[in-house]
Structure 1
Amino acid sequence: MKVLLYFEGEKLLAKSGIGRALAHQQRALTDVGIPFTLDRHAEDYDILHINTYGINSLHMVNKAKRQGKKVIYHAHSTEEDFRNSFIGSNQLSPLYKKYLINLYERADQLITPTPYSKELLESYGLNLPIKAISNGIDLAKYQPKAEKEQAFRDYFQLDPNQKVIISVGLFFERKGILDFVEIAKQLPEYTFIWFGHTPMMTIPKKIRDLVNENHPANVLFPGYIKGDIIEGAYSAADLFFFPSYEETEGIVVLEALASRQHILVRDIPVYKGWLKENENAYMAKDNNHFAAKIKAIVEGEMPDLTEAGYRTAQSKSIDAIGKELQTVYQQVLTKK
């Protein structure tokens, strides 16, 4: 078999979790020996594995169906995670849901990252096979390394004893960015760093103002950073704090787990079945509990769950994901 991995607007989405999902798919298929192409003009493929939602994506699906190709839609997005993101997203979300349904129902198979997102898609009334497969994680990339950790501390000129809490994400209210800054105000003795970037013209004014100026001095917004600095941050920080309200998986959580980092997340349904409070992660529901847990974790007053967290990342390694994708591809090809 040969697979066409299609990703519309690759440069625009490269800094998002969906962008990293494409890189993981390429690596996973390479590992299990499945030939693939990224060339949208290719004709010699059997399965279109599509990740995006624009007009060109719709065109690619229709073209593949006309040519008798099989189509697998990777359902990274839902109406629920579209809300509280870009300007006007809440008003547009019902239309966005209809658009997603129109795209998804053209496929022969859906893949989505978690059982939670699978349940959401089933609630849309989609009547086609849906398989939950993690986006996966490159374990080797996030192994703690002293030189990467030093690069991170040097970049931000951090004192040796300075306590640091990090998060990674787009500048969306849904991601919990308002709570991140509010909690930083309550804990001025710690440095809070939010990695990530979103074009300012696309996000609401209150978020723009927050990032540009309305935040305390102990909060840093360095933008999108890749390579040794962010990889060093994952393992060198004292805590990965991810207060997102809605995810289909949360690749950054997997990256933190693979880095053997302490993690604190909001207690939301997407983590059901793979993150467990006080076992491989810490969870909370509101800012008061977040602040109390941050202080306890950073000061070493809570049990170290990092090895259990790393084992969770191992279960979602790219090697395992490649085999799961291979099984789905074979099933789709043999189904009449």
Structure 2
Amino acid sequence: MRVLNYLELADRLERSGIGTATMHQRKALADTEVDLLTSPWNGGTLPDAALRRAVGDPFFEAYDVAHCNVIGPGSVAVARHAKRNDVPLVLHSHVTAEDFGESFRFSSEVAPVLEPYLRWFYSQADLVLCPSEYTKSNLESYPVDAPIRPVSNGVDAGRLEGHEELREAYRDRYDLDGMVVFAVGNVFERKGLTRFCELAQETDHAFAWFGHYDEGPQASPTVRKWTQNPPENVTFTGWVDDIRGGFGAGDVYLFPTKDENQGIAVLEAMACGKAVVLSDLPVFREYYTDGEDCLLCSTHEEYREALERLAADPDLRERLGENARETAAKHSLDRLGEELVTAYEDVVAGDPVA
């Protein structure tokens, strides 16, 4: 089976959660019998495809299933081509109106307008894949008129091997000591930036956020406020070439996000055996158990108390971390590959109902 796994704007999304999720898909599929294609354009690029079309060759490559991970014009073109030519179409819902807000400047204003577009776009699919039952419920509320199937984004535990060996180097680089409370990923207000910084102001622990933050006109005022004038015990590292260093340097992964479709960095922290403190959201209740492999918090006081408990009880940190590692193992790339292949086989057979 030849499958197109398409990531529009791949160079711009390389550092995003969507880029990581797509990388996981492709790595998972590499160990299957799927013949993987990453560009829909005949010749590999749009200019090449246009030249070939001018001499009578097809504009699009040939494939048995089209799987798109983004919602832009290139993906719309692939979707329309698939529908015109009876090619089974899988659309992956990494973007919802709920998780679009508070991500960058004006994103909250755009989010309500985005929902009708997403409803139209995803409804073209023979099958919509999404990271969680929570995301599925959001899509159904729009409503999206297509079968919807949750599939974990997975975690690439192998990519994180050796993080412990980078601990001292990264702690020295960013002047971190003691119990380090940390986050990993792009810096957005939706991911709990303000709460992260306000909690830091109330403790003596070192806080570090390993990840890119916008500084240009697209940066939200909140991101600009905290990154330009952070609390004394908060470090914003910016882009880190080897993210293993962040997971090595940190002790407690704090993620007070307001909305999430799954949260790949959470799974990465768990795969590294870190204690994690998360927002008490349906998506995390779906995958994790409070007090067993994480601590779930709803209020500012609960977050502060959770950090105090973990600081006072290293054994609790270790127990939560070991259980978290076992939880992350359930989201392996091997399992992701199996679920993707099943999805492709189902749409080819005309039986995509989850």
Structure 1 counterpart of 2:341: 326
State how far apart, in whole Å, the 2-side matches of 1:297 and 1:144 are: 24
1:233 and 2:249 correspond: no
1:145, CA displacement in angstroms? 4.4
TM-score (norm 1): 0.94
* Runs of 4+ with deviation above 4 angstroms: none
Structure 2 counterpart of 1:100: 118
State how far apart, in whole Å, the 2-side matches of 1:234 and 1:144 are: 10
1:45 and 2:63 correspond: yes
State how far apart, in whole Å, the 1-side matches of 2:284 and 2:176 are: 32
Q: Bigger CA drift: 147-156 or 97-106?
A: 147-156
1:276 and 2:289 correspond: yes
Check whether the contact 2:136–2:149 (CA below 8 A) recurs between aligned residues. yes
1:88 and 2:109 correspond: no
- Superposition CA RMSD, Å: 1.6
Pick from 265, 272, 282 the counterpart of residue 259 of structure 1: 272
Write the mapping of 1:286-301 to structure 2, written as runs, cut at 5 A.
Answer: 286-300=299-313
Does the C-alpha gap of structure 1 residues 276 and 146 become closer, same or farther in structure 2, counting only changes over 3 Å?
Answer: closer
Pick from 111, 127, 131 the counterpart of residue 129 of structure 2: 111
Structure 1 counterpart of 2:55: none
1:163 and 2:141 correspond: no
State how far apart, in whole Å, the 2-side matches of 1:248 and 1:273 are: 11
State how far apart, in whole Å, the 2-side matches of 1:256 and 1:163 are: 15
Secondary structure of the residue aligned to 2:287 is: coil
1:29 and 2:42 correspond: no
Does the C-alpha gap of structure 1 residues 95 and 313 become closer, same or farther in structure 2, counting only changes over 3 Å?
Answer: same
Write the mapping of 1:179-218 to structure 2, written as runs, cut at 5 A.
Answer: 179-187=195-203, 189-200=204-215, 201-213=217-229, 215-218=230-233
Check whether the contact 2:184–2:246 (CA below 8 A) recurs between aligned residues. no
1:71 and 2:89 correspond: yes
Pick from 320, 330, 336 the counterpart of residue 305 of structure 1: 320
Structure 2 counterpart of 1:315: 330
CA shift digits 1:54-84 (9 cap, x unpaired): 1222122112222321110000111110122
CA shift digits 1:181-240 (9 cap, x unpaired): 0000001x2111112224332132232121112x2111011112132xx21331442201
Check whether the contact 2:195–2:300 (CA below 8 A) recurs between aligned residues. yes
* Matched length: 330
State how far apart, in whole Å, the 2-side matches of 1:239 and 1:144 are: 18
Q: Bigger CA drift: 167-176 or 309-318?
A: 167-176
Secondary structure of the residue aligned to 1:120 is: helix
Instruction: Read off the aligned partner of 2:37 and give its amino acid letter.
Output: T
State how far apart, in whole Å, the 2-side matches of 1:292 and 1:272 are: 20
Pick from 193, 204, 215 the counterpart of residue 177 of structure 1: 193
Instruction: Read off the aligned partner of 2:251 and give its amino acid letter.
Output: D
State how far apart, in whole Å, the 2-side matches of 1:51 and 1:158 are: 37
Check whether the contact 2:210–2:237 (CA below 8 A) recurs between aligned residues. yes
Structure 2 counterpart of 1:149: 167
Gap runs ≥5 in structure 2: 43-60
Write the mapping of 1:241-256 to structure 2, written as runs, cut at 5 A.
Answer: 241-256=254-269
State how far apart, in whole Å, the 1-side matches of 2:175 and 2:258 are: 31
Identity among equivalent positions (%) equals 34
